[in-house]
Amino acid sequence: MTAGADPTVPAPDTPERVAVLVIGDSETADRAEAELASCLAAEADVVRIREVDPQAWAATDLSNVAVVFVDVERPSAVVTDLATRTQQPPRVLLLTRRGVLDDLGDLVDADLLAGVVAVPWTPGRLCVQARAQLARWHGIEPVTSIRHADVTESSLLRSLNQPLREVVRELVDAIEDVLGPRPRLLLPAGIRVTQEDVSVDGLLIVLRGEIALGVTSPSGKIVLHHASTGPLIGLPALIERQRALATAHATTDVELIHLTIEQLDHALDDNSRVGALMTVVSMRSLARRLRRAEILQVEKSRLNAELADERAKLTQALEDLSEARLALIAQARSATIGDMAAGIAHELNSPLSALTRSIDHSEQDVLTILSGHPWTEPILDVITAARDRPALTAKDERRIRRELAAAGIPNGRVRALVSAGVFTVATAQRIGESGIPDDQLEAAAGLGAALRNARLAEQHISTLVSSLRSAIRPDQTEPVPTAVSETVEDALRLAGHRMHGIEVRRDYVDTEPVLAHPAQLTQIWTNLIVNAADALAGSGTIEIRVRPRPRGGVRVEVRDDGPGIDPALQERIFEPRFTTKAGAVRFGLGLGLGIARRIVTEHAGTITVHSQPGETVFTVDLPAHLSTPPEGAPR
């Protein structure tokens, strides 16, 4: 054992000797090496490195360095490099004459700086520091290792490491040395020893039992401290000359001493030991309360994180509920409209059938009346031609006029014949040879055109009724094989009244059927078409493309050349109730994009939007389903 070592403190029990390293080429480093070598010979090897360079590192066994004293100009780089060469990061003490150190941030951040020793130091104190750091490096609390033959342990430090009850007993003894024996108060559980917002005129020293501190809040009573209350009650209020911030009440039977302010002042004035011991007790209590506060802060952060997570889940649930509510409202309104539309469709059937029969009968009556007419054959030719007249381009109409004129037919008669739908030279010559007057020719053409218009109107009404029935019919329990392009056509007919002034371009390619609810698909297309029409405001082009997908399924694109959708809104247009139409929420056949997305999702598909000024494209992808399920599949 070297001189100055405490014989009551055994050297750390380690499997091999460790090294204490002194780095530097100065008189300070020489003095440190000499002092450490004289006192640590039995505990560690003292190693000296004068020059910090790769050769010095290579020539020294650094694997088991435990403590390092550094006296160099740039300690951060040296210590950082050294830490990578040791088995365990060493405890580093910096020897310095500087009063301000502004270049040690990296060491502090990496927890590589154990302390700073000011030069010059008191002889013998460097060994105290070295032993303490050796103990810490070995994982031993160095409470007793700081003793030195020439150093007296402070009473404060000794008290800090005593059990708290012993310190309280010493405090009571010191007080009673001045004031004499103090009476003990024995109180049952539940008694309030101090009250919130009431003046505190003394100090309570708890000798036995538990005291809790709490406050009253709008949400009820809150316990601030219980196990961390400490044995001194009322001291903060005395120090700050304020009313009590909390109520202290006994949670068990307690034994305590009550000191008035005057008694406490007397004890502090006559015995300095009272103040020192009160400082120790207060520090110990404060440490416990700080630890409790840190634990509570961690718990608070965890609870806040859980609360934020629950709040996010609740928000999502509310959004889902809102969307479901919107869907129910839309379905209820659609059902009402569907009932009305079904009634209208039913009521239209009777007059539509009557109209069809009337047209047929009128045509037969005309033929009967004309059977005895001298120009029966040419009149029937004109009526038939006008009734069945196809639409002609201007180029074809000019070509036919030139052909008829070339056959010698007068120009006035050519215009009347072409307007009546007579496009061949043979028919025109036969009519001309009959000698039918122009007024009779025009009347026959007008009658044929009227029959044609009546037929077209009857067909249009019939088609609308059919599309309306398709859109409002109840969805089947199971989806059925559905031709997507037919549901698109139904949607175009239903939205036809919104398309005035808008050019519609169809681009369909034959696709396989998909298993779907046809009415729901019609609702999707109707909504997208109506949205496009609203964006165009009566002028522009809507293009609808139906294509097979490369890996099966169908893709439908609804494209318009309108102003586009603001990029900031594109992420929100599928949200329930979101609209850019002056805040209006629309129901009925156009269910809103949120409901459209829900329908697409229920069909295992996707809907996306791409928009820029001059072009907006909604793309719907539906998965492939064959009209005949695979063998073994449920039917």
- Domains of the chain, start order: 18-153 (3.40.50.2300), 164-292 (2.60.120.10), 372-464 (no CATH), 478-622 (3.30.565.10)
Q: Is 111 exposed, middle or buried (0-12, 13-18, 19+ CB in 10 A)?
A: exposed
Residue 338 confidence (pLDDT): 61
Residue 341 confidence (pLDDT): 64
Q: Is 622 exposed, middle or buried (0-12, 13-18, 19+ CB in 10 A)?
A: buried
Distances from the Cα of 189 to the Cα of 192, 205, 251, 253, angstroms: 9, 16, 5, 5
Model pTM greater than 0.85? no
Q: 579: pLDDT confidence band, cut at 50, 70 and 90?
A: low
User: How far, in Å, CA of 43 to CA of 9, rounded?
Assistant: 11
Whether residue 307 has pLDDT greater than 70: yes
- Quick: pLDDT tens for 326-359: 777 766 666 666 666 666 666 666 676 777 777 7
Higher pLDDT, 81 or 335: 81
Which residue type occupies 534?
D
Residue 350 confidence (pLDDT): 67
Q: What is the DSSP letter of 79?
A: H
State CA 443 to chain mean position distance: 74
Residue 582 confidence (pLDDT): 39
Q: What's the half-sphere exposure (Cβ side, CA atoms, 13 Å) at 20? A: 27
- Quick: pLDDT tens for 266-288: 999 999 899 889 888 888 888 88
Question: Peptide bond preceding 120: is omega within 30 degrees of 0, i.e. cis?
Answer: yes
**Picking from 1-5, 144-148, 557-561, 593-597, which range would have the lowest pLDDT averaged per residue?**
1-5
Residue 5 confidence (pLDDT): 40
Q: Which residue, among 453, 449, 464, has the nearest Cα to 419 in the 3D structure?
A: 449
- Quick: pLDDT tens for 505-515: 999 998 888 88
Which residue type occupies 76?
S
Query: Which ranges constitute the DSSP H helices of 40-124?
Result: 54-59, 75-83, 105-109
Q: 177: pLDDT confidence band, cut at 50, 70 and 90?
A: very high
- Quick: pLDDT tens for 535-577: 898 889 999 999 999 888 899 999 999 998 888 787 778 776 5
CA dihedral 328, 330, 331, 334 (to 10 degrees): 160
Q: 153: pLDDT confidence band, cut at 50, 70 and 90?
A: low
Q: What's the half-sphere exposure (Cβ side, CA atoms, 13 Å) at 176? A: 13
Q: What is the DSSP letter of 273?
A: H
Residue 382 confidence (pLDDT): 72
Q: 589: pLDDT confidence band, cut at 50, 70 and 90?
A: very low
Percentage of residues in the chain having pLDDT higher than 90: 23
Q: 442: pLDDT confidence band, cut at 50, 70 and 90?
A: confident
The three-state DSSP-derived secondary structure of 187-205 is ECCCCEEECCCCECCEEEE
Distances from the Cα of 512 to the Cα of 483, 545, 605, 625, angstroms: 7, 15, 15, 8
CA angle 611, 614, 619 (to 5 degrees): 35
CB atoms within 10 A of CB 137: 22
User: How far, in Å, CA of 549 to CA of 605, rounded?
Assistant: 12
Q: Which residue, among 603, 335, 609, 593, has the nearest Cα to 487 in the 3D structure?
A: 603
- Quick: pLDDT tens for 25-53: 999 999 999 999 999 988 899 999 988 77
Phi, psi (5° rounding) for residue 175? -65, -45
